[in-house]
Structure 1
Amino acid sequence: MKIGIDLRVLDSLNITGLGRYALNLTKELIKFKEEYYFIGNVDRSELEYTKNMTIPIELPYGDIEFANKLLSLIGYVEDLDMMFSPFYPLPERRTFKGIVTIHDLIPLRLPEIFRNTGIYNFYDTYMRECAEHIDHIITVSNSTKQDIMELYGIEEEKISVIYLAGHSKCFNREDVGLAQQKVFEKYRINKGYILSLCTLEPRKNLTRLLKAYEIIRTKLKEEFHLVFVGGFGMRSEELIREIEKSPFKDNIIMTGYVPDEDLGVLYSNAEVFVYPSLYEGFGLPVLEAMGYGVPVVTSNVSSLPEVGGDAALYCNPYDVESIAYTIEKVLLSPTLQRQLREKSLERSKLFSWEKTALQTRDVFLKCLNKS
């Protein structure tokens, strides 16, 4: 069987959540016997090219209709049996089966943030049309499955829920050597810290986290950092303005994008990982933090309780006092910290990219075997 994978999400050197999904899933899928075709400007040393063909074509991000014409042509010329897209919509006019992953419908759930933007139109027009004509939809949580059924009117039988997995690289928390110290020096971290990792944008609710940090610092009279890891997203200037006004701004660190080799150090040594997002399709950083045995505080909305289970503590993301109280609860209790670390490690073992790939391949085969 010949299966094409739209890997344009890997065009960027610095990959984040979507790229991690596409890369880790593809690394596992190519271990199976099917013949895979990598579509897009893909140059990743992590992928083996020995039995897989690369089609190095420029698929435009901003012109979905033209990109779909190219995908239709590629599928026809290469005589593909199926095409899989880990994010972007696939063409309606095609000679092959089509499967797409819909990670979330957040712009439609939070229109006050995304209204009148290209990303809103992407979900309200292109993804909606794709969901209607595609052969099958993969999604990453039951929460998003319900959103797809409700907001797109898609029947349940057309949707499969397949969970993601955490970071594939390991880091030894006991390693206190020179390499670890260099990471701390690189990001100017010289004391204990609260860690949050995400693209800096309003949906991630970081302004409320900042206010919660100020409450905790005022109450505990103890110095520790608040570390924001992640690239700058839309309207990130709002957070920057609030940080500049903070009485504790000298202890607030914004690292920007962090390479994988540094992430393990930052995750593993955090006092607590906080992810107060207003809405998530899955919440991959929560699972990644758990994989490093970090106590996790996250929101009690959307998919996050589904991911964290009983291994995380939950707060109301719209209530600054609730965020502050939940974080403080972890900081003040060594016993709770130890319990959460143990639960986090156990919880993370339930997820793996191998399992994600096996379930994804099963969806492929069922779709191909349909008459």
Structure 2
Amino acid sequence: MEGCINIVTVHDLIPITHPHLTGINTQRFIALLQALIEKNVHFVTVSETVRQQMLSHFALSPERVTTLYQSVSFDDATRQAIKKAPQIAPSDSFLVYGRVEKRKNIERILEAHARSQTKTPLVIIGPDGDDHPDCTPRGPTSQVIRLPWSDRLSLLRTLSEAKALLFPSLAEGFGLPIIEAMALNVPVITSRGGVTEEIAGDAALLVDPYDVSDITKNIVSIDNINDREITIIKKEGKKNYYKFKYTKYCCFLNKLS
């Protein structure tokens, strides 16, 4: 709009940073962002990691890019609705949810789950991505439940009843499941480094997403954790969640005006 500041939200730069993990055309993506830069828009990123990537890949002054984290909040009514939602998977399972694609590290998760020899089921919920990872179990003792879609409240019930969220993603812009899990008092295993570590802080078990042995070790750790340790993890997760409960949009708009 003429005379108004135009604001563009950039959720991730995966087509640039990890082009092999997406079907989006890298050159077209770069051209689009470059055209927006030339129009003098203000950019919002959903993590500081993505903000730094923007500043690294484009000739852009830092004042033109603001980090506004995605907010996560479940009010009392929503929490009650989650408890009453239809149950679609066993409680006390390991859970993976979101678009089921290569960048979510599905195949290494399946391999680690099988190697751990856990009796805890692995539940994978979400639509198939373009690369259609093979979600069959990788071992005779590995129980895998694949659900292509679910109602939002039933998904959140599955999350709230999970033993842990498995989120050793290869590339993200934010990692919303990390904070949703912590909001619902669920331990998180996620990737060390990059945006997932930024969002999880010290409140998750961090793994090398390319190292199946590291993922396996942490699955075994959660499987055998004692009550005291699990209480500490959940407490740290809840503290971390409160950082993302509200996003300071008003402060941001005042800054631009």
State TM-score, norm by structure 2.
0.89
Change in 2 beyond 3 A, CA 1:174/1:254: closer
> What per-residue deviation string (whole Å, max 9, x for no partner) do you get for residues 313-344 of structure 1?
10000000011111211111123222111221
One-letter identity of the residue aligned with 2:33:
M
Hey, what does 2:52 align to over in structure 1? 146
Change in 2 beyond 3 A, CA 1:316/1:161: same
Q: Distance in 2 between matches of 1:332 and 1:216?
A: 11
Are residue 337 (structure 1) and residue 237 (structure 2) matched?
no
Q: Distance in 2 between matches of 1:134 and 1:119?
A: 23
Change in 2 beyond 3 A, CA 1:128/1:247: farther
Secondary structure of the corresponding residue to residue 264 of structure 1? helix
C-alpha contact (below 8 Å) 1:195/1:274 kept by paired residues: yes
One-letter identity of the residue aligned with 2:6:
G
- Residue 97 of structure 2, aligned match among 172, 181, 197: 197
Secondary structure of the corresponding residue to residue 9 of structure 2? strand
C-alpha contact (below 8 Å) 2:50/2:173 kept by paired residues: yes
Hey, what does 1:349 align to over in structure 2? 242
Aligned 1:1-371 pairs, distance under 5 A? 75=1, 94=2, 96-114=4-22, 117-169=23-75, 170-171=78-79, 179=84, 182-183=86-87, 187=88, 189-190=89-90, 192-217=92-117, 220=118, 223-236=119-132, 238-240=133-135, 243=136, 246-248=139-141, 251-334=143-226, 335-352=228-245, 355-356=246-247, 359-367=248-256, 369=257
Query: What is the Cα deviation at residue 278 of structure 1?
Result: 0.8
Query: What is the Cα deviation at residue 203 of structure 1?
Result: 0.8
Alignment coverage as a number of residue pairs: 254
Query: What is the Cα deviation at residue 191 of structure 1?
Result: 5.9
Which of structures 1 and 2 has the bigger CA Rg?
1
Mark the runs of 5 or more structure 2 residues left unpaired by the alignment: none
Change in 2 beyond 3 A, CA 1:190/1:266: closer
State TM-score, norm by structure 1.
0.63
Secondary structure of the corresponding residue to residue 125 of structure 1? helix
Mark the runs of 5 or more structure 1 residues left unpaired by the alignment: 1-74, 76-93
Query: What is the Cα deviation at residue 366 of structure 1?
Result: 3.3
Q: Distance in 1 between matches of 2:137 and 2:180?
A: 29
Query: What is the Cα deviation at residue 277 of structure 1?
Result: 0.4
Moved over 6 A (4+): none
Hey, what does 1:8 align to over in structure 2? none
C-alpha contact (below 8 Å) 1:132/1:154 kept by paired residues: no
Q: Could you say what the CA RMSD is over the residues aligned between the two structures, in angstroms? A: 2.3
Query: What is the Cα deviation at residue 196 of structure 1?
Result: 1.1
Change in 2 beyond 3 A, CA 1:325/1:265: same
One-letter identity of the residue aligned with 1:279:
A
Query: What is the Cα deviation at residue 97 of structure 1?
Result: 2.1
Query: What is the Cα deviation at residue 132 of structure 1?
Result: 3.8
C-alpha contact (below 8 Å) 1:100/1:134 kept by paired residues: no
Q: Distance in 1 between matches of 2:112 and 2:5?
A: 49
